[in-house]
Every structure is written in C-alpha cells, then in structure tokens.
Amino acid sequence: MINKLVALIKKTGAPIVVGLDPMLKYVPEHVTDRAYAEYGETLEGAAEAIWQYNKGIVDAIHELIPAVKPQVAMYEQFGIPGMIAFKRTIDYCHEKGLIVIGDVKRGDIGSTSGAYAVGHLGHVKVGSKILSGFDEDFATVNPYLGSDGVKPFIDVCREERKGIFVLVKTSNPSGGEFQDRMVIDNESGDQRKLYELIGEKVDAWGSELMGDSYSYVGAVVGATYPEEGRILREVMPKAYILVPGYGAQGGKGADLVHFFDKDGLGAIVNSSRGIIAAYQNEKYASYGPEGYADASRAAVIDMIEDIRGAIG
Amino acid sequence: MINKLVALIKKTGAPIVVGLDPMLKYVPEHVTDRAYAEYGETLEGAAEAIWQYNKGIVDAIHELIPAVKPQVAMYEQFGIPGMIAFKRTIDYCHEKGLIVIGDVKRGDIGSTSGAYAVGHLGHVKVGSKILSGFDEDFATVNPYLGSDGVKPFIDVCREERKGIFVLVKTSNPSGGEFQDRMVIDNESGDQRKLYELIGEKVDAWGSELMGDSYSYVGAVVGATYPEEGRILREVMPKAYILVPGYGAQGGKGADLVHFFDKDGLGAIVNSSRGIIAAYQNEKYASYGPEGYADASRAAVIDMIEDIRGAIG
C-alpha cells in the first residue's frame, strides 16, 4: 500500500491528503436541511448530512489527489449512525480509487492493539469466514504504550500489505508538553528529545517492513514544527511522513520543504478544514454554500500549487 | 459520577471493575452456535454472540460490583455490528445500575478530542436537538498529545459530571519503554520519570474538577508495577486509580496495597479475562461452558476476597 501511495502521489503530482473531518458547522444548510427532512434532527440525520457533504467533496476532488484521511472522532461523536457514515465514506473513497488513511490514533496493550489493527486494517475470523470491519488502507497509531502496543499493527500490516503512521510530533500547541522533553538513555546516558527517541523506534520498526523505497511504517509530524520535521526526516529516512497542521492550523508551504526528500517524495501533507470548509473562507466565498464542493476543488488546486512551489 | 463510583464501591464492598472484553475465543460454543444460526457467520453473528455472552455475565454479577469496563477494541474489530454490541452493552449495564467505564484510550488535538469527549461522555447538538452517542460514565484517555488534547475531555466532564482515567503507567511489558524514561525539566533541570511527570499533570488537571473526596480526573496505573503505584499514589493524592493487569496479566492482590488509600478507597482494580473467561480456567472448569456466567460470578467473589484480604 505504501508503494501504491507513492505511485498515486507521482501520478497526481499532489503530495497531499484531504482530511474528511466533517463538523456539522461546516456542512451547508441545504445539505443539513435535506438530511433532517428525511431523518429528523437525529443522529441518523446528522450522519446523513456529513455523508452527503463528504460525497459531494469526494466527487469534486477525487481525480486530483491520491488519498483522503477521515478523522474518526468526527463520526464517532454521532454514535452508531456516525460510524456508519465513517464506513460509507471509506467504501465510497475506495470506489473512487482513493487511498484511505483512517485517522484513528488507536493504541493499547498487545492483544487489544491487535483487535484495533484487525478492525481497521485487517480481517477477523468469524466461524469459518474471514471478514473485515472498517477496512482502511493506513491507520494512525499512538505509541505511548510502547513497542508491544505498536507491533500488532505491524503484524497486520505485513499480512495485509497495509501501513501505519505513528504519532511522533503532533501539530497542536501543547504537542511539545511531553514530546519535547529531553529524555536520558537508561544505558548510555545520552540525551535526546522524546519525539526523537520515538522517531528512532519508527525507523527500527519500519526497517522490518519495507516497500520498494519507503517503509510501511510512517510517522506523523506536524507542519507547525518545521525544525523538528528536518531532524526527523534524518532520523527516519525510510518513513513516509504524514504532515497535519497545514492551512487552518498555521503551517505554510514554505515550512514543509524539510519534511520532503530531494525528489519531492517522503511526505504527504494533510489539510482538513482548509479544503472541506473552503467555501466558508473569504478567498472562496464566491462559490457560496451551494458551490461548496467546487470551492473545495479550487482549494485543492491552490494547495497543490503552494506545496509544489515550496518543494520545487 | 466519581461520587457515585465511590458510593457504589462502599455499598458493594468491592473495589473492582470487570472488563467486558469479549474475544470470540472466550465465547462458549452454545452461544456462538445460536448467534450464527440466526445471523450467519457474519459480523452481525459475531456481534450477537458477544452481546449475548456479555448479557449472561452481567446478569450473573451485576449485584456484586460497582462498575464494568468494556474495551471498545474488542467490539470495533467487528465493524459497525460490533459497535452496536458495544452500545447495547453500555445501555444494558446502565439498566442494571452499573457504572460504565469506556476503555477507549482516545486522545487527539483540541477540537478532535472534543469530538471524542462528546461522543463518549457528552452530547452533540443536531439542529435544535441535544443527543448522545455512546454515553459511558467514564472514559480512558491517552495523554501523549499534551494538555490541549486532555482539556476538552475535562470540559465535557465538568458539564456532564462524568470522569476520565488518564493513562499514566500502563500494565503491559513495554509500558516502560517511553513511560519510564527519565526526563529533564526544561526550566529547573530536575529529573523524574515521564510517568511521574504525567502523574503530576493528572493531579493538576484534577484539582480543577473535584468531587467530594476524589477528582473526576483519575489515572490508569498497571497492577504489574506496584512500586510505581506507590509513587503515583503520593504524586496524585486526589486521583482515583484504575488498575488493570490483575489476574491474567500477573498482578496479585498483595501487589495492590500501595494503590489504595488507608481507608481502602482510591483505587479500583480491573480484571477482564480472569472473570469473563473464568470457565476456561482450571479452577472454575467444573462449571463447564454452559455455566460460564456462574463461573464468572464465582471468580468475582474470589477476586473481591483476594483484594479485601490484601488491603485489609
């Protein structure tokens, strides 16, 4: 799947992923009105609204980009109907030829991480049948529980030829509260920051599961921390870097150059609100709520240009 | 909700929580057979099997214990039908008067953590309606993203009078890989272990949201690390400690004494496999698969006795 991701990035010329993180406040009124008319102001109505909203955006942009990244929290907040919308979104994006990165940030102790891994990336055995739950292509993984919480994901990735992105340096303002702490190596006494230590682990985990040029084990490093991106690019030379925080969170194209390798590969930049709620941005306001999907398309084109310009 | 948890622990005399983590290999054949006969060897069939299995156990033990802790991964692995079984389990346990700790280990950046928090503990606004998604009483939270990933949970807890347990020191073998690292304070230069630093944060977060005796912000500390439990009990005097790792993972009653305060409160010990799959344990084998729920009941009674004996 990492080979397919690289191939699609080359084909589209777009090292970007669109975050399908539909908050109801982004969904145009004509979409919510129609959903509530059919399902009422219920969880089902909300789920229908975000699904239709997603579908409109995916229809407008799928040919321009290699991948989407639905953030499961935005679906999970609507309970079971929300999870159904999450699954519909995954399946529809697959139909459209897109790679789906499930932004699930799961992570637990061994056997429990194993259950998350099969649920999102693999298959479960039910009697004599082999079935799949959510069936994303990649998932994001939280490393706080250590190697035995990550390894079950790697095992499933090996079997399924799928991948993970491990949280290394997150894009949020307090991402450094623990991740930037200087840690002391128990044996050598060497000091480095926690995110570097985790970056080293990503490199080690990934060396066991290589695609053609990059590993199936990637990393999340926020666009809001370009210097850390530069350091981590060196620490994890084989890891694809998933870069959140571009656009609405403040990251700019010029900040991104160090996340990429010299050939313009090695990183994929996410934008969520900046794309899916583009019509609410002054720059694209002329599209209006009815033209929200076209506004998203225009924002994708602008983002591709910004990033291509930066990584030259 | 923390007051209610303390009251129920006092009433039952049982500082324990039963982990409803149903793997299919635990479910007796007569239960799976019936589920597959009705729904086929499908995700729906698996979900029906784990729901019926849970129901049998809850019916047998609900009067003995204050709380249950469903591990969402075990449901999520079966996709949408699994999530429906998760929700049915939550609702049924509420009907039976049990407190439900959703072991979801969620955590993300601000607005996304907010979505998880409302989905699991709070309410979402859909049009003019206020609705709830999964509606647990407590949730477990991963702190790796820092304060701005935890605070949205605290905000929802304040509004809903619900609580969280923050992962501080997990019970798994590699839990120490990052959590035990000695970290250096950026300002003072002081050194302490990462789990202690996070314990201090739990104490600080919790001081803003106190119940009568304990905070709504608790912590997860594994039974497999009794010395760390002793340290953390002092670092976070107001935090209720949720203690996984008892039983099948190797923790024993005698290891637990330091997690508790002198009055026998302050901690709640989880057992999952040791209770729900008790009939597969030689000690309770005489109950047979048909008597799995009674075996679970016997295992609960033994666990209560073991822990009471230890904490005196």
Catalytic residue among A105, A151, A193, A252: A105
Q: Answer whether B73 sits within 8 Å of A108, measured CB to CB.
A: yes
Other Cβ atoms within 10 Å of A69 Cβ, number: 25
Mean pLDDT of the region A107-118: 96
Residues in A 121-160 with any Cβ partner in B closer than 8 A = 124-129, 131-134, 142-149
Other Cβ atoms within 10 Å of B285 Cβ, number: 13
Whether B254 has a pLDDT exceeding 90, the answer reads no
- Beta bridge partner(s), residue A125: A130
H/E run at residue A15: none
Among A87, A133, A198, whose Cβ lies nearest the Cβ of B178?
A: A198
Q: What is the DSSP letter of B210?
A: B
> Which pTM does this prediction carry?
0.97
Mean pLDDT of the region B59-76: 98
Q: In what side-by-side order are the strands of the sheet with B191-193?
A: A191-193, A182-184, B182-184, B191-193
**Chain B residues close to A132, C-beta within 8 Å:** 79
Q: What is the DSSP letter of B146?
A: -
Q: Are strands A241-243 and B241-243 parallel, antiparallel or unpaired?
A: unpaired
Q: How far is CA A64 from CA A69, A292, A299, A301, B66, in A?
A: 15, 16, 11, 8, 54
- Average of per-residue pLDDT values in chain B: 96
- pLDDT digits over B293-309, tens only? 999 999 999 999 999 99
Residue A98 · residue A67 · CB < 8 Å: yes
Q: Answer whether B119 sits within 8 Å of A148, measured CB to CB.
A: no
Could you tell me which residues come within 8 angstroms of residue A116 by beta carbon, excluding any fewer than 6 positions away? Answer: A104, A106, A107, A108, A139, A152, A153, B73, B76, B77
Q: Answer whether B184 sits within 8 Å of A171, measured CB to CB.
A: no
pLDDT grade, residue A252 (50/70/90)? confident
Whether B251 has a pLDDT exceeding 80, the answer reads no
**Chain A residues close to B186, C-beta within 8 Å:** 180-182
What is the Cα–Cα distance from B263 to B11, expressed in whole angstroms?
Answer: 14
Mean pLDDT of the region A27-41: 98
Whether A265 has a pLDDT exceeding 90, the answer reads yes
pLDDT grade, residue A191 (50/70/90)? very high
| Sequence-ordered strand ranges (E) for A232-289 | 241-243, 267-271
Query: Is B105 annotated as catalytic?
Result: yes
Q: Answer whether A174 sits within 8 Å of B146, measured CB to CB.
A: yes
The encoded tokens of residue A24 equal 């109801």
Nearest residue of chain B to residue A46 (CA atoms)? B126
Q: Over the range B241-277, which residues count as b (16 or more CB within 10 Å of their CB) and which as e?
A: bbbbbbbebebebebbbbbbeeebbbbbbbbbbbbbb
Burial zone of A166 (CB within 10 Å; 0-12 exposed, 13-18 middle, 19+ buried): buried
Q: Answer whether B43 sits within 8 Å of A147, measured CB to CB.
A: no
ipTM: 0.97
Whether B113 has a pLDDT exceeding 90, the answer reads yes
| Three-class DSSP category at B58 | helix
Q: Are strands B182-184 and B191-193 parallel, antiparallel or unpaired?
A: antiparallel
Q: Taking the alpha carbons of B137, B138, B139, B141 in that order, is the dihedral positive or negative?
A: positive
User: Is any Cβ of chain A less than 8 angstroms from the Cβ of B24?
Assistant: yes
